[in-house]
Amino acid sequence: MRLEVIKINQTEIAEIISDELVIQNVAEATDLLGNIYYQGYDQVIIYEKNISPEFFDLKTKIAGEILQKFSMYRIRLFIVGDVSRYENKSLKDFIFESNKGKHVNFLSSREAVVEAFSKTNQ
């Protein structure tokens, strides 16, 4: 895993790059959050492919626990990838509602993150 930085105006967004799962459980998400927070970032991009599929099953409550931690530390989280393959209506509703706010956004591409971030921070 490596961290790259996207700079938009004066804001830096940490982008997590990995070919492997980065978040398989709440403990790993907490470690990642601590690492990002310690380095001074308050925005992070992580790719859907780097998150355990169990995160996207709302019955496991993993997503709720993880997103609550990011929200508590005021770390804006962008989850990037094709989440349409998860055909659960509850998840689709959750994603729709999340995308209305500024704390957690599910987007299709890195470019969509830059566009969304630019719109909400003008």
The domain limits of the chain are 2-120
Distances (CA, A) of 93 to 40, 60, 72, 86, 89: 32, 16, 22, 12, 6
CB-facing half-sphere around the CA of 16: CA atoms within 13 A: 27
CA dist., res. 91 & res. 30, Å (int): 22
User: Can you give the pTM of this predicted structure?
Assistant: 0.93
How would CATH label the architecture of 2-120? Answer: 2-Layer Sandwich (3.30)
Token pair belonging to 32: 């990642």
pLDDT of the chain, 122 residues: tens digit per residue:
999 999 988 889 999 999 999 999 999 999 999 999 999 999 999 999 999 999 999 999 999 999 999 999 999 999 999 998 888 899 999 999 999 988 999 999 999 998 877 776 65
